[in-house]
Amino acid sequence: MKYRKPKDSDSDYSDSDPSMMPPQNSTPFYRQSWFLPILLLMTILLWLQFTPSNNGKDKSPKHSDFLSLSPAELKDIISSEIRSHLISKSVELPKQGEFKSYPPVKVIPDQDRLRICVTGGSGFVGSHLVDRLMMAGHHIIVIDNMFTGRQKNVAQWLGHPNFQLIIHDVINPIMLEVDQIYHLACPASPPHYQYNPIKTIKTSTEGTMNMLGLAKRVKARMLLTSTSEVYGDPQISPQKEDYWGHVNPIGPRACYDEGKRVAETMMYAYESQGNVEVRVARIFNTFGPRMHPNDGRVVSNFIIQALQGKDITIYGDGKQTRSFQFVDDLVEGLIRLMNGNYSQPVNIGNPEEYTVKEFAELIKGLTKSNSSIRSLPATKDDPKQRRPDISTALEQLGWKPIVPVTVGLEKTIQYFRKELEESGEITPTGPNASRPQNTMRHSED
């Protein structure tokens, strides 16, 4: 049969010249490009057909049923068969009643639900903040590198549709779409932040810069959790926000103190130059459940020592003062600050002042412990007094602490009792740099 030149074409095919004829399809069928995929599909079909399921009462269609189907219909059937086969073989679906239950979450209209990023959200303070924001009905994205954070602090939310945990180090940039950023990521206890001082500096500087860059790009409001440590070893008491501080820039605490001071500087540079809405909280000593048992801080060490009947150790003569706030009060202050109109730094702490020795005695009494109180040499650059002036928080946010220290301590003691039950024994961390330890009991214990 002669090849007919297509009428609507201007091609050069000639009726007479065989070299100009289109190529004839003379390749055997088993070398055609469609042969292998079809062979593979047929093999899968046969495999599915002869693999017993449903206790041998397989109701899947027979081989002959497929012969009349089009390739597209075949493809659909095969992919659904493969999926259902894999699901029935390998995925354990939870039985009814086994679904995880979450703490109650307020149902709010979509337009009121904010996307909120909490860096350091699996740490002590961060996880309490996440609880409050989740329960208020917002969508929360936690960013944490798990240096001092613990997944168990946010385990109650894992799998919730409003919650995401991203393991990420803030010294690397991240792209997200969020409305607010609570920037907490930074180890807070002296042994932990002194363990890798360069990393602590990078976290406060590069980390804050990255989060500010994100805030600027997506026009999110950003709150920095700064610290009373920006006042260093203060020469005035109580400390008000306009006090510039007394910090040793090259001492062992400088990586944290100076890091936070630079972070504050960056916040206000991005506010004036980049129009970022900023909030700065200067947090004073905070305590409560979910404190890291190895953080070496006064509250955790004293409680752990008292509960185990070990000596309660004080660094120095114990006359240095501290003021302690319960974590629920802090979280309330942070949320008010974020959502208020005041953009200058605000002290958030409890002005009730104790000497460290008085505090040790208070904890000894509350735990009904027989421990002795023992003095060890003072640590370098340990501030002699720490007490916030909270008049700005009161005026601008209508905030003041409301949880009595003893009530907060009772809850914290209960938490550490449970931690001790799980881990057997906890050795409190000393004043020197130390890596956060996993306190969970090993299986052979």
Q: How far is the CB of 147 from ligand NAD (least distance, A)?
A: 4
Residue nearest to ligand NAD (CB): 123
409, 358 in Cβ contact below 8 A? no
Residues 117, 123, 279, 405: which binds ligand NAD (CB under 6 A)? 123
- Please give the residues from 224 up to 253 whose contact with ligand NAD meets the rule CB under 6 A: 225, 227
Residue 186 sits in the site that holds ligand NAD (CB under 6 A): yes
For ligand NAD, the closer CB: 124 or 195: 124
Among 370, 366, 292, 283, CA closest to 325: 283
The CB-side HSE value for 259 (13 A sphere, CA atoms) comes to 26
State both tokens at 77: 């059937």
Compose the 283-322 pattern: x for residues touching ligand NAD by CB under 6 A, - for all others: x-xx-----x------------------------------
For ligand NAD, the closer CB: 229 or 314: 229
User: Which residues contact residue 332 at a Cβ distance below 8 angstroms, ignoring those fewer than 6 apart?
Assistant: 399
Among 9, 1, 90, 75, CA closest to 45: 75
Burial class (CB in 10 A: 0-12, 13-18, 19+), 269: middle
137: left (phi over 0), alpha (psi -120 to 50) or beta: left
Compose the 102-121 pattern: x for residues touching ligand NAD by CB under 6 A, - for all others: -----------------xx-
For ligand NAD, the closer CB: 119 or 385: 119
Rounded to whole angstroms, the Cα distance separating 86 from 191 reads 50
Residue 187 sits in the site that holds ligand NAD (CB under 6 A): yes
- Please give the residues from 141 up to 170 whose contact with ligand NAD meets the rule CB under 6 A: 143-149, 169-170
- Please give the residues from 341 up to 380 whose contact with ligand NAD meets the rule CB under 6 A: none
Rounded to whole angstroms, the Cα distance separating 150 from 148 reads 7
Residues 45, 114, 133, 184: which binds ligand NAD (CB under 6 A)? 184
How far from 55 is each of 51, 60, 80, 81, 91, CA to CA, in Å? Answer: 11, 13, 20, 17, 18
For ligand NAD, the closer CB: 270 or 326: 326
**DSSP strand pairing (221-227 vs 353-355):** unpaired
Residue 337 sits in the site that holds ligand NAD (CB under 6 A): no
Stretch that binds ligand NAD, among 82-90, 91-99, 181-189, 264-272 (CB under 6 A): 181-189
Buried b (16+ CB within 10 A) or exposed e, 351-382: bebbbbbebbebbbebbebebebeeeeeeeee
Number of residues that bind ligand NAD (CB under 6 A): 30
Rounded to whole angstroms, the Cα distance separating 284 from 354 reads 13
User: Which residues contact residue 314 at a Cβ distance below 8 angstroms, ignoring those fewer than 6 apart?
Assistant: 356, 357, 360, 373, 374, 375, 376
Q: How far is the CB of 330 from ligand NAD (least distance, A)?
A: 8
Q: How far is the CB of 349 from ligand NAD (least distance, A)?
A: 8
Rounded to whole angstroms, the Cα distance separating 375 from 188 reads 24
- Please give the residues from 125 up to 144 whose contact with ligand NAD meets the rule CB under 6 A: 125-126, 143-144
For ligand NAD, the closer CB: 169 or 329: 169
Residue 412 sits in the site that holds ligand NAD (CB under 6 A): no
Residue 332 sits in the site that holds ligand NAD (CB under 6 A): no
For ligand NAD, the closer CB: 282 or 310: 282
311, 373 in Cβ contact below 8 A? yes
- Please give the residues from 28 up to 67 whose contact with ligand NAD meets the rule CB under 6 A: none
User: Is-catalytic flag, 268?
Assistant: no
User: Which residues contact residue 49 at a Cβ distance below 8 angstroms, ignoring those fewer than 6 apart?
Assistant: 58, 60, 62, 63
State both tokens at 16: 């007479």
**CA 47 and chain centroid, separation:** 45
How far from 129 is each of 141, 183, 258, CA to CA, in Å? Answer: 12, 11, 25
For ligand NAD, the closer CB: 60 or 321: 321
Active-site residue (options: 195, 231, 256, 270): 256
Q: How far is the CB of 57 from ligand NAD (least distance, A)?
A: 53
Residues 207, 296, 388, 408: which binds ligand NAD (CB under 6 A)? 207
Residues 194, 203, 385, 439: which binds ligand NAD (CB under 6 A)? 203
Annotated catalytic residues are: 256
**Contacting positions for ligand NAD (CB under 6 A):** 119-120, 122-126, 143-149, 169-171, 184-188, 203, 207, 225, 227, 283, 285-286, 292
